[in-house]
C-alpha cells in the first residue's frame, strides 16, 4: 500500500530533478543562518555553484558539535514566531541540541510517518498504541501526529505502567504498537506472567535503538506481530526518516526529502553502494532548521536498487556508530555527558567506569565512581547521600536511571593511552 505512490516510487531523472530543485531551495534557506553563510563563504562556495546533486561534496559537513555551539537558536532560519514546536535532544555534553519546526515542517514530518505506516499495511481502521516517551523526545509526538494523519485511533500510552499498557491492548483491541524493541520484549514477558492474551496485535514498529534479526524472530513469535524497523533522529525531524517495507530487507529512506551519502568517517570520502560507512544526510524540505550534509554518526550502507515494492534505493539496518554514542533504552548517551556530570560533583574523584548490560532484556547502566577523600567523612550516611546525589545528577542530565557504585580511591583501572571508560557488555544479541 502507498500513501503517496507517485512520490514514493519516483526514480531516475524525475527524482534527480526534484532533488536538485529542493537542494537549491535548502541551500538558499541555509543562507539565513549565520553559521552556513560563513561556512559557504569560508569554503569559497556560492549557492549558485551547486548545480547538480554531486556538487554537494563542495560543502563541508555539519556535525552535532556545530549544532551544540549554536545553542539555543543559532541554526534557526526563520524568526521564532514562525517556530511552533521545539524539541531538544541530548547533546554531547551539558546543554542539549535544540530542534525547531515550522507548521510546514510538522506537516512534512507527519506525512513521512504516514507513508511509513501505510507502507507496512497499517490503515485508518487500525488501533495504534504509542508506547514511547512523549514530550521532548521526538518518538512520541512524531508517531502520534503521523498516525493521526492517517486517521487511526491513537492511544498515547507513553511509557511505564506495563500492566495497564497490556490491559489497554486487550480492552481496546490494539492492532499496532510502537516502542523500543527492548520494551516490546519486556511487555511480552509481563503479558506472559499475567496470562494476558495479545491476540489483537498485528504490527510492531520498533526503533530508537539498534536491534538484531534474532530479536526480530523472538518478538514476532512472542507478540504475534510482524516487526518493522524504524529509523530517524531528531535533527532530521525525528523518527520516519527510513523504514522497512514488507520485504524487510533494508530500510527505504525517502529520497525526495533526504539526500543520502555514505562516507568514510575518517576521510570524509563518499563510498559506493554496498560499502559500509557513516550516513550523511541533507534534509531537502526543512524550513525552520535547514542542515547541510549532517553527519548522523550511524553506520550503514546503500543497498542495491530495485526493491520488489517499487520504492527507491534502501539503506541497510544500522550496525553501529562512528562515534562513542551509546543507545540505552532508546536514549542517546555520550560518555562525555557522563564525564561532564560526574566531574562537576566535588565528592567525585577523577576516575569512573561505565558498564552497560542487558538485564531481563532491558538495558542497565552501572557507573562505578571513585570518591574524593577530601569530601568523604567516612560515615555511612554520607556515602548514601553522595550516591543519591550522583544518581539524581545523572538522571537530570541523561533522563536515564542508572545504578551508581562508590568505590575506594585508586581502585578503578588507570589508562595510559586513550581511556576506555565505557564497557558495553550487551553484545549483539538479546
In the complex, the smallest distance separating the C-beta of residue 19 from another protein, rounded to whole angstroms, is 30
One symbol per residue from 79 to 118: x for binding another protein (CB under 8 A), - otherwise; what is it?
-xx-xxxxxx------xx-x-x--x---------------
Residue 221 CB partners (closer than 8 Å, separation 6+)? none
Residue 396 or 408 with smaller CB distance to another protein: 396
Beta bridge partners, 252, equal 243, 314
Task: Say if residues 75 and 81 touch (Cβ distance below 8 Å).
Answer: no
Q: What is the phi/psi pair of residue 227, to 5°?
A: -100, 135
Position 151 contacts another protein (CB under 8 A): yes
One symbol per residue from 53 to 82: x for binding another protein (CB under 8 A), - otherwise; what is it?
------------------xxx------xx-
Stretch that binds another protein, among 187-195, 307-315, 341-349, 394-402 (CB under 8 A): 394-402
Q: Which of 2, 61, 172, 376 binds another protein (CB under 8 A)?
A: 172
In the complex, the smallest distance separating the C-beta of residue 388 from another protein, rounded to whole angstroms, is 15
Q: Which of 189, 324, 339, 399 binds another protein (CB under 8 A)?
A: 399
Residue 255 or 286 with smaller CB distance to another protein: 286
Residue 95 or 385 with smaller CB distance to another protein: 95
Q: What is the DSSP string of 132-178?
A: S--SSSHHHHHHHHHHHHHTPEEE---SS-HHHHHHHHHHHT--EEE
Position 353 contacts another protein (CB under 8 A): no
In the complex, the smallest distance separating the C-beta of residue 90 from another protein, rounded to whole angstroms, is 11
Q: Is 133 exposed, middle or buried (0-12, 13-18, 19+ CB in 10 A)?
A: buried
Size of the site for another protein (CB under 8 A): 44
Q: What number of CA atoms fall less than 13 Å from residue 238's CA on the CB side?
A: 34
Task: Say if residues 131 and 179 touch (Cβ distance below 8 Å).
Answer: yes
Position 333 contacts another protein (CB under 8 A): no
Q: Closest Cα to residue 132, out of 78, 209, 39, 59? A: 209
Residue 14 or 164 with smaller CB distance to another protein: 164
Other CB atoms within 10 A of residue 302 CB: 22
**Chain CA centroid to CA 266, Å:** 22
Q: Which of 55, 148, 324, 364 binds another protein (CB under 8 A)?
A: 148
In the complex, the smallest distance separating the C-beta of residue 158 from another protein, rounded to whole angstroms, is 3
Other CB atoms within 10 A of residue 413 CB: 10
- In three-state secondary structure terms, 336 is helix
Position 158 contacts another protein (CB under 8 A): yes
- In three-state secondary structure terms, 419 is coil
Position 124 contacts another protein (CB under 8 A): yes
Q: Which of 15, 18, 45, 168 binds another protein (CB under 8 A)?
A: 168
Residues that bind another protein (CB under 8 A): 71-73, 80-81, 83-88, 95-96, 98, 100, 103, 124-125, 127, 133-136, 140-141, 144, 148, 151-159, 164, 168, 171-173, 395-396, 399
Amino acid at each position: 500500500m502507498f500513501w503517496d505512490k507517485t512520490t514514493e516510487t519516483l526514480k531516475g531523472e524525475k527524482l534527480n530533478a526534484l532533488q536538485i530543485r529542493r537542494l537549491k531551495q535548502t541551500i538558499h534557506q541555509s543562507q539565513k543562518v549565520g553559521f552556513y553563510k560563513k561556512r559557504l563563504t569560508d569554503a569559497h562556495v556560492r549557492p549558485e555553484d551547486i548545480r547538480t546533486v554531486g556538487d554537494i561534496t563542495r560543502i563541508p559537513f555539519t556535525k552535532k558539535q556545530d549544532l551544540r555551539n549554536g545553542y539555543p537558536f543559532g541554526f534557526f532560519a526563520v524568526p521564532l514566531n514562525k517556530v511552533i514546536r521545539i524539541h531538544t535532544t541530548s547533546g554531547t555534553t551539558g546543554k542539549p541540541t535544540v530542534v525547531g519546526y515550522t507548521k510546514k515542517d510538522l506537516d512534512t514530518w507527519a506525512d513521512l510517518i504516514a507513508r511509513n505506516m501505510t507502507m507496512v499495511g497499517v490503515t485508518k481502521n487500525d488501533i495504534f498504541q504509542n508506547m514511547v516517551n512523549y514530550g521532548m523526545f521526538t518518538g512520541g509526538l512524531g508517531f502520534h501526529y503521523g498516525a493521526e494523519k492517517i486517521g487511526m485511533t491513537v492511544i498515547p500510552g507513553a511509557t511505564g505502567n506495563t500492566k495497564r499498557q497490556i490491559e489497554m491492548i486487550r480492552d481496546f483491541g490494539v492492532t499496532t504498537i510502537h516502542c523500543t524493541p527492548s520494551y516490546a520484549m519486556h511487555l511480552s514477558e509481563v503479558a506472559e506472567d499475567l496470562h494476558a492474551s495479545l491476540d489483537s496485535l498485528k504490527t510492531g514498529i520498533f526503533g530508537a535503538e539498534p536491534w538484531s534479526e534474532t530479536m526480530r524472530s523472538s518478538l514476532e513469535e512472542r507478540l504475534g506481530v510482524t516487526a518493522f524497523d524504524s529509523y530517524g533522529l531528531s535533527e532530521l525531524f525525528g523518527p520516519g526518516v527510513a523504514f522497512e517495507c514488507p520485504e524487510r530487507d533494508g530500510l527505504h529512506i525517502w529520497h525526495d526529502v533526504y539526500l543520502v551519502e555514505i562516507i568514510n568517517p575518517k576521510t570524509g570520502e563518499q563510498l559506493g553502494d554496498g560499502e559500509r560507512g557513516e550516513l550523511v544526510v541533507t534534509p531537502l524540505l526543512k524550513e525552520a532548521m535547514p542542515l547541510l550534509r549532517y553527519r548522523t554518526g550511524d553506520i550503514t550502507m546503500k543497498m542495491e536498487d530495485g526493491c520488489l515494492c517499487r520504492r527507491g534505493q534502501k539503506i541497510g539496518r544500522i550496525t553501529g556508530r562512528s562515534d562513542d554514542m551509546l543507545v540505552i533504552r532508546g536514549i542517546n548517551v555520550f560518555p562525555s555527558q557522563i564525564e561532564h556530570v560526574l566531574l562537576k560533583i566535588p565528592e567525585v574523584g577523577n576516575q569512573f567506569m561505565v558498564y552497560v548490560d542487558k538485564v531481563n532484556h532491558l538495558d542497565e547502566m552501572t557507573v562505578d565512581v571513585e570518591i574524593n577523600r577530601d569530601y568523604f567523612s567516612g560515615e555511612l550516611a554520607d556515602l548514601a547521600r553522595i550516591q543519591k546525589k550522583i544518581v539524581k545528577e545523572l538522571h537530570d542530565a541523561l533522563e536515564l536511571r542508572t545504578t551508581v557504585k562508590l568505590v575506594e580511591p585508586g581502585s578503578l583501572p588507570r589508562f595510559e593511552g586513550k581511556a576506555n571508560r565505557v564497557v558495553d557488555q550487551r553484545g549483539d544479541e538479546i
